[in-house]
Every structure is written in C-alpha cells, then in structure tokens.
Structure 1
C-alpha cells in the first residue's frame, strides 16, 4: 500500500490548496524575502509553495520534483506564473548548477528521504554563499498530538495505531536534523514550531469528502477503503457540529545559512 507519486491519479493531488498567511508570515520573519531573486523549491509537488514564494516577491522560482506526473499538475497549476519553471530531478541529485540560489525550500520532503546527509549536501552545493535553507516537516512529536476540531490529523493515529509506527519510522527528530545540517557546513541553525492552516472547510461534509479522496495526504494511502470509511465515521462523530472547520497542522521549520 502507500501512495504512488508517479501515478496519473496523483497528478493534481497536491494542487488543491494555497499557502496560508500563517506560513508566509513565518517565512518573512526567517528570510529577507525582498532580497531573494532566485529560489529553489525541491519536492515542489503541485507548486503550491512555488506560487507562494513568487507571490511574496521572489523574482525567479524553480520547482524540482521526482514525479513527472506531479510536475504536469504543477505546470498546470502555475501556468499563469511566467517566473516559475519546473525541472524533473530529485533531492540527492538535482542536476542544477552549484552556488546558484539564494533560497532553497524543502517542504514536506525529508520524511521521504532515507539519506538525509546526502540531501543536505546537495542543498549546500546548489545554494550560494550566505544562501538560506528552509526545511519544513513534522517531527514524531508533531504528528502524534491529540485529535481536535482543528488538528484533524490527530484522529488518524488515535484510531489506527499502526500509523504511529509508520510515522516514527519516517519522521526525523529535530536534534538529528540540526546535527545533520551542521555536519554539512550550515550555520546559524534555528527552528520554530508552526500551526499552519491547511484548509478552511465551509462544512464538515466537505472535510469528510476531502478525507475520503485522500487529497494531498500520503499517510491515508496506508489505509484501505474500509479503514478510510471507519476513519470518516469516527471523525464525523468526533466533530458533532456542522460548521466552518479550520484544519491546522503542526510543523517544525528549520532555517540554516550556507
């Protein structure tokens, strides 16, 4: 089981949202965006955050992803942005020039990477001197918080403990991320926690439909259709009111400088 990022069915899975202001404000606090002319978005998915960087004022953004199918969705999603381009590649070997980018974003990527040292080594290579490296992902602690009307993800693990093992096996602890950054020569390493608004649903029904389709949620591809139905019924009962739901995810963001 698990999501097939190369399937045509995944093409538009990561194009259905826009980056929330809760994210852009944190990034602006971390990085002098007005001084950034070239940014790289590795693991760009459908281009949601490539768009966000452009909207924040970055002159040129390059998105990289290892899935040709998902890149097709990204190109369609960003077709109105002439300053955004996309390239097929991976985080360990982008094929891009050295010392070329002022900012590198890797959002929701490193939990898919087994060789974190090589991933950060490639990041160091493509960044120019004093370039900013931003990593956003969940630690095991971020994943396993209690489910609430806002933290919908918490219900996944309360109902299906097997997902806890999955997350513990693929998520990195913060200290390991920071040590690996340091080992690759990065400096001024900082971290911040962020409750990022994922999506606002006008009704509970829209949330449940989104969950049923597993939209942009790779962890739900670990569940079969019967388990998904059990999860949806559980969340339906756990959130009794049919009103606007603001779903948030807890993330850790690390900043480092080359």
Structure 2
C-alpha cells in the first residue's frame, strides 16, 4: 500500500538524509538563498529547509500537511530563522507576497491538477520572485539501470512500479504549459542528476531498501516482493563487484519561473 506520511514509524524517512553538495552548488548558481525569505512547500522532514538556512536565508517557512514530518523537522533543525507550519500546499494561509523564493521538491507528482498550487505560489510570491519545482517525469523514472542509478534497477525488476510512476508523474512539457497558463514568466526546464547518498557497503544499501527509507514507491511492494527485489539487486551488484562506496544518483527535472506583475 502507498506510504502513510502521517504514521509515526515513517517520521524520519524524509529527515535523516543530507542534501547533495553538487545540488547545493547548482542551486546557488541559479537562485542564491542569501538574505531571502524562502517557502519550502511540502518540506517533509526539512532536509532542504536546512540547506537554505545553511546558505544564509533570512527566513525559511516549511509547510507540510503531515504533523509527524513537521515534528521531525523541528526536532532536527534548531534555528530561530525557520518556522514550521501545518498546512495544505494549495492553501497555505500565508500573506500575499511573503516569499522571495518558493521551492517544491517531490510535490507535484502527488497532484493531478497543478492549477491550484501554481495559483497559490503566485499569490504568496513577491513580484520578481522565483518558483523552483523539482520532480521526476516519467522519462526520468524509466531511465536504464546503471551501477550509480539504483532506481533503474528497481524499475526494471518491478513492472507494476513502472505503471504507478507513469500514471502519477507529469511530463516536462505539461508542467511548463501549466505554468504558462497560470501566468508565470521566464519559464525554463532542465534535467539534473542529484546524488541521493553514497552507501559505504552493499549491506547498508540493502538495509535501506528493506526499510523503504526515503523511497515512497517501495511502499507499493509487499514485504515478499521487497525481499525479492533486494535479492536481485544484491546479485546484480555482487556480479559486477560493486560492494563498497556505492553512489545512488537520480535524474530530476527542474522547472523555474518568475512572477512578473500581480
């Protein structure tokens, strides 16, 4: 069954990971967080909110619909420059023109209709501010398996997961079109490889898979299916002699837009 973001046992699933340093450099080249008010919509356990704080944001507002996730975010982020708020990403309750930057990572694939969230983002963003959406397209999810691309093995071994991903992911051009209809300007999209983490050993990788840590798609597998998947991945990596220092990289698509006018 799908992941329950409100369950206590999933509290740390989206809080313990550290953001990729290359991703941080990529962000700073495009939208420097220094001195900005940033709204992290669908912040989960606050992984990227912490990045913004570390890069000198004036204030970060993390919004999520799960009190369990926010509880973990608050516990792991001691700072008077961050405010955690329970709320709906399409109806935040924030004042008009609150933010300099709006960040949505791994959010839009949970939404069928993008119009409400794009309208809410325009409302709470300052004129001249930037919207940054990071998510996967169907094409990103179905890339061939490679030693650094664990998701590729997961998808190639589980045809049912492929169907789920294709059904819930938005195509690149569809997101750009929705942004255009919603009144965003200077719309751009690009692909980005992000290192999720590097596993010290194959055993460590297998443990994370079996725990479904930070991978909501694995919650759609039964325990038996998950064990079978883990055994296949173990065989694949062992055959290739990949037993230590295993990078886990994913390809994402990133859309940016600017608010021009009211």
Same structural fold, with TM-score higher than 0.5 when normalized by the shorter chain: yes
Q: Residues 194-223 of structure 1: CA distance to partner in whole angstroms, max 9, x if unpaired?
A: 110000111111010001000010000000
Q: Does 1:31 align with 2:61?
A: no
Show the counterpart of 1:21. Answer: 21
TM-score by length of 2: 0.96
Deviation of the 1:33 alpha carbon: 2.7
TM-score by length of 1: 0.97
SS in 2 for 1:62: strand
> Which of 119, 122, 140 is 2:117 aligned to?
119
1:208-223 pair list within 5 angstroms: 208-223=206-221
Show the counterpart of 1:196. Answer: 194
Show the counterpart of 1:160. Answer: 158
Show the counterpart of 2:45. Answer: 46
Q: Residues 172-213 of structure 1: CA distance to partner in whole angstroms, max 9, x if unpaired?
A: 001010111111111011112111000011111101000100
> Which of 162, 168, 171 is 1:170 aligned to?
168
Deviation of the 1:29 alpha carbon: 1.9
Show the counterpart of 1:228. Answer: 226
Q: Does 1:6 align with 2:16?
A: no
Show the counterpart of 1:252. Answer: 253
Whether contact under 8 Å (1:139, 1:172) holds in the other structure is yes
Show the counterpart of 1:206. Answer: 204
Deviation of the 1:26 alpha carbon: 1.5
Q: Residues 1-41 of structure 1: CA distance to partner in whole angstroms, max 9, x if unpaired?
A: 1101111111111111111112112211221333x420000
Structure-1 separation of matches of 2:57 and 2:65: 23
Structure-2 separation of matches of 1:32 and 1:10: 32
Structure-2 separation of matches of 1:81 and 1:236: 41
Structure-2 separation of matches of 1:108 and 1:31: 19
Structure-1 separation of matches of 2:18 and 2:61: 18
Count how many residue pairs are aligned between Structure 1 and Structure 2: 256
Structure-2 separation of matches of 1:32 and 1:8: 34
Q: Residues 124-156 of structure 1: CA distance to partner in whole angstroms, max 9, x if unpaired?
A: 110010011000000000000112221101111
Deviation of the 1:43 alpha carbon: 0.5
Structure-1 separation of matches of 2:70 and 2:219: 20
Q: Residues 220-247 of structure 1: CA distance to partner in whole angstroms, max 9, x if unpaired?
A: 0000000000010011011113111111
Structure-2 separation of matches of 1:49 and 1:95: 21
